Copies of this chain bind each other. A is one copy, B any other.
Amino acid sequence: MAVTGDSELEWAIQTLVKNYDRYSGKGCCCRRRRGISKSDFRKMLSHELNHMLTDTKNRQAADKLICDLDENQDGEINFDEYWNLIGGIASPISCLIRQQEESEKFKK
């Protein structure tokens, strides 16, 4: 998967970073780049996390995620807030993988 000699983990990290960049500060001429706006965040959820987030289409769920995440209440998701969101999605997946492995181990 990784093309440039980077490891898969490095490639995955760059993918997450580039995704943030793609959805934040688009078409903005002023020097200070914006975070991800609410509407762009909703687009990201439905375009990019469609399988992982079941009720992506649900506007309230997206808004709740944004409100929970927008710690500094500036109406935008900065990189650290974005990273916490992804971590909030990845953590239960990590537990799921473990439970599956545990159940397979005890079947043998």
Contact = CB atoms under 8 A, between A and B. Distances in A.
B79 A83 contact: no
Given A9-B16, A12-B19, A17-B93, 11 more contacts: A7-B49, A9-B19, A10-B51, A12-B12, A12-B13, A17-B90, A31-B102, A79-B90, A80-B87, A83-B83, A83-B91
A17 B12 CA distance: 10
A20 interface: yes
Nearest to A16: B12
Contacts of A15: 1, 8-9, 11-12
| Copies per complex of this chain | 2
Chain A interface residue bracket vs B = 35 or more
A52 to B, nearest CB: 5
A8 to B, nearest CB: 5
Interface of A: 1, 5-21, 25, 31, 33, 47-52, 79-80, 83-84, 86-87, 89-91, 93-95, 97-98, 101-102
